[in-house]
Amino acid sequence: MPKNRQISINIILVVVMLVSAAIQYKSTYDNRLEKIDIQVDYTLQAVENTIVQPLEQLEIIRLQMVSFLQERGDNGVPDTISIGDSYYINPDSMSVQSSLTGILKTPVMSSQTAFEANAAIKLNAAFEKVIENTPEIKWIYYTSQNQFLNIYPFVDYDSYHVTPETFQYDFFRIISPEENPDRIQKWTKLYNDQVTGELMITISLPVYANDVYYGALSIDYTLNQLSDTLKQQSEDLENYAIFNDFGEVVAISYNSFSADTITLNTEMMKTLTSSEDHEIISEKYLMKTIRVGDQPLFLTSIIDREEMQFYVLRQLYPIMFFIFAALIIVNLYYRAITINNQLLKSEHQFKTLFNQSPQIIVILDKHGKIIDINRFGLNFMKLKREQAIDKAFHELPCWVNPEKAAADIKMQIETTIHNGAFQGEYKMRHHRGSLKNILYSMVPLDEYDSRMMKVVVLGIDVTEQKDLQYQLENMTRTDNLTQALNRRGMMTVLEQNISRTERTGSGFAILLCDIDFFKQVNDTYGHECGDEILVKLVQVMERHLRAYDHIGRWGGEEFLIVLESVNCELGYEIADRLRVAIGTNPFRCSAVSDPIFINVTIGMQYYDLSADVKQNIVNADTALYYGKRNGRNQTICFGKTDMREEARNDREQP
């Protein structure tokens, strides 16, 4: 019976709709997880870049200490002051203000201890440079088996001095030959520094010379930079945490939850680090982990399952609408050719959906003339129904180019008639004048009789989704604080300029701009004021650069600028004019009443196509630090022989 046949078709369409939705849900969910896995790789690289510098600094100083011990140089007794059975170095005898304190085993320091202490004192210059260049390292020190410790920055004897308990602390105990026969670096558990109160981890390296164990080199490393790195990499659906081998939360992004939200017991840690998939699926979170290089750290991505499900469901709205519309249209089509007494009822249902639908729906004949249009479509163009009926579809005011629309619509109708459907995306003009992104589809009606053939046009406004997609893409290329481009965005700009230069021959310049004595600004006025100055510095740069130049935050208070279509002379002129403009601009902070003036040093490299991007940036950086060492507040163009020689000497020094 026709009624039973209609019910069967409806059941089939509903099953198709549910199966399609399930397939689309699974596909969207898996695609999103794949994108997240790719982002984890970028985050891992960012984390490794954050921690590689302090580890490299520690290894360099260890090699330097080994060299001093093997040379067996100065054997004189250091100038020390004794207090009971302990001693400390006379501060007046130190060229770099550091602290050396120890325990006297005999009334007079042994020659072996004196030799080793002199070697440790030689490290002070390197200690000073490491602390200056790496703010995340708060303390750096050498601890000897001969019961003395040399530490930088300076700490007076009353604040801290060596006691027998010092050599039982984890940072020294875990590096001993008994507990560390492989002679590798070791990390401690988290702790609060007894001087500064900051949360830290100590990283230690054993010092062996001529296969003899002398002691340990250690750095106390703060975790703020790691958390900032994770926060910059996190997204709405994905956050990150870093755990150590002890299951402690070393760093975490705080976008939507705090560290208290995540608990990691021994069993969970074992599962994350040893399972093949490195995955834990709980009722609330999906967690995946990966080891950070060869360090005792694990980067874990944390996805809120509920938010992930909402995200995927939102992606199903268009397909659910189209399938639902197809269900209604097929029912109307079937009823129209079976029983006349159902036609009016079906038309009424269709008209209700037709006019209440929040999408543009237009019914055309096979020549492109409008047979009907729903209320949403009329409101979109601010037309009355009689102004649209019997009018050619391409003549409606929504088309940006009516002539092109006429040809396109003719082709689309032919495609729909022969192939059964057409889908595309168009820019359509709203009656207020704005352009909207419309997901545009055609499906056939009355295909049983070519003389009565009609097509239904469905148009869904996806402008908000497009804008959101653009915003999300833009966030991955923009620095959160200053809204300048980040490193990823600037690398894209550099690639575009290299391609244009190779194609057209028009050159460009890269500038590395660093604020002079910015640490003093932060120390004097506070980091919030420092952040305000960074934001306003970008605004000053934008005012004094050309509209097609590019500004990116390269790191901390350092900015990389690309000057397009310049020769070397013009690039230098623009750079130095920018330096002067910054130096004369009064910067104001909300917490400070008086204006603050800053200066910058700029290193410039006119891009050399014979070298790679990294080398060009290194050249600009060399010019920048040449300017820093020679007075600051100046613009230096890379290329001078003495500059190259000085940079080479710097790199050869440990």
- What is the CB neighbour count within 10 angstroms for residue 568? 15
Taking alpha carbons only, the member of 245, 241, 244 closest to residue 230 is: 241
Tokens of 625: 């630090």
Measure the CA–CA gap between 133 and 54, rounded to whole angstroms. Answer: 10
pLDDT over 70 at 346, yes or no:
no
Measure the CA–CA gap between 20 and 209, rounded to whole angstroms. Answer: 69
User: What is the average pLDDT across 13-17?
Assistant: 69
| Greater pLDDT, 354 or 201 | 201
Residue 20, Cα to own-chain centre: how many angstroms?
Answer: 35
Measure the CA–CA gap between 632 and 603, rounded to whole angstroms. Answer: 11
Of the pLDDT bands very low, low, confident and very high (cuts 50, 70, 90), residue 260 is very low
Q: 153: cis peptide before it, omega within 30°? A: yes
CB within 8 A of 144, min separation 6: which ones? 102, 113, 116, 117, 120, 214, 215
pLDDT (0 to 100) of residue 207? 95
CA-based diameter of the chain, in Å?
A: 117
pLDDT (0 to 100) of residue 268? 55
Measure the CA–CA gap between 358 and 460, rounded to whole angstroms. Answer: 8
pLDDT (0 to 100) of residue 437? 79
Measure the CA–CA gap between 128 and 151, rounded to whole angstroms. Answer: 10
DSSP state of 93: G
Model-wide pTM > 0.75: no
Tokens of 539: 């605004």
CB within 8 A of 588, min separation 6: which ones? 536, 595, 596
| Greater pLDDT, 15 or 487 | 487
Measure the CA–CA gap between 487 and 478, rounded to whole angstroms. Answer: 8
What are residue 148's DSSP bridge partners? 102
| Greater pLDDT, 355 or 246 | 246
Which of left, alpha, beta for 461 (phi over 0: left; psi -120 to 50: alpha)? beta
DSSP state of 249: E
Of the pLDDT bands very low, low, confident and very high (cuts 50, 70, 90), residue 412 is confident
DSSP state of 275: S
End-to-end CA distance of the chain: 92
Average pLDDT, the chain: 81
pLDDT (0 to 100) of residue 274? 57
Of the pLDDT bands very low, low, confident and very high (cuts 50, 70, 90), residue 654 is very low
Measure the CA–CA gap between 216 and 211, rounded to whole angstroms. Answer: 14
pLDDT (0 to 100) of residue 19? 72
Q: Strands 238-244, 297-304: parallel, antiparallel or unpaired by DSSP?
A: antiparallel
Measure the CA–CA gap between 479 and 458, rounded to whole angstroms. Answer: 40
Q: Which residue has the tokens 């397909």?
A: 319
Among 20-24, 74-78, 392-396, name the one with the lowest average pLDDT: 20-24
Note the residue count of the chain. 654
User: What is the average pLDDT across 543-548?
Assistant: 94
Residue 194, Cα to own-chain centre: how many angstroms?
Answer: 33
pLDDT over 50 at 601, yes or no:
yes
pLDDT digits 0-9 by tens, 428-485: 888 787 887 788 888 887 655 556 578 888 788 777 776 666 666 666 789 889 999 9
Measure the CA–CA gap between 388 and 378, rounded to whole angstroms. Answer: 8
Which DSSP helix (H) or strand (E) runs through 373? strand 370-373
pLDDT over 70 at 323, yes or no:
no
- Per DSSP, the three-state class of 273 is helix
Measure the CA–CA gap between 296 and 103, rounded to whole angstroms. Answer: 33
The phi and psi torsions of 101 (rounded to 5 degrees) equal -140, 145
What are residue 285's DSSP bridge partners? 304
Measure the CA–CA gap between 650 and 654, rounded to whole angstroms. Answer: 8
E strands of 430-530, at which residues? 435-445, 454-461, 509-515
pLDDT digits 0-9 by tens, 573-582: 999 999 999 9
Contact between residue 89 and residue 57 where contact means Cβ atoms under 8 Å apart: no
Contact between residue 306 and residue 7 where contact means Cβ atoms under 8 Å apart: no
Of the pLDDT bands very low, low, confident and very high (cuts 50, 70, 90), residue 651 is very low
pLDDT (0 to 100) of residue 254? 63
Identity of the residue numbered 92: D
Among 218-222, 290-294, 419-423, 606-610, name the one with the lowest average pLDDT: 419-423
Q: Angle formed by the axes of helices 317-338 and 2-71, to 10°?
A: 170
pLDDT over 60 at 593, yes or no:
yes
Taking alpha carbons only, the member of 13, 648, 35, 576 closest to residue 303 is: 35
Exposure pattern of 215-252 as b/e (b: 16+ CB <10 Å)?
bbbbbbbbbebbbebbbbbbbebbbbbbbbeebebbbb
Contact between residue 632 and residue 601 where contact means Cβ atoms under 8 Å apart: yes
pLDDT over 60 at 64, yes or no:
yes
Measure the CA–CA gap between 374 and 386, rounded to whole angstroms. Answer: 12
Of the pLDDT bands very low, low, confident and very high (cuts 50, 70, 90), residue 140 is very high
DSSP string, 97-124: --EEEEE-SSSS--HHHHHHHHHHHTTH
Q: Which residue has the tokens 């481009």?
A: 485
pLDDT over 90 at 18, yes or no:
no
User: What is the average pLDDT across 316-337?
Assistant: 64
Taking alpha carbons only, the member of 472, 399, 403, 396 closest to residue 436 is: 399
Measure the CA–CA gap between 182 and 420, rounded to whole angstroms. Answer: 70
Among 101-105, 237-241, 314-318, 583-587, name the one with the lowest average pLDDT: 314-318
Share of the chain above pLDDT 70, in %: 79
| Rounded alpha-carbon distances, angstroms, from residue 226 to 171, 334, 516, 646 | 21, 63, 25, 33
pLDDT over 70 at 361, yes or no:
yes
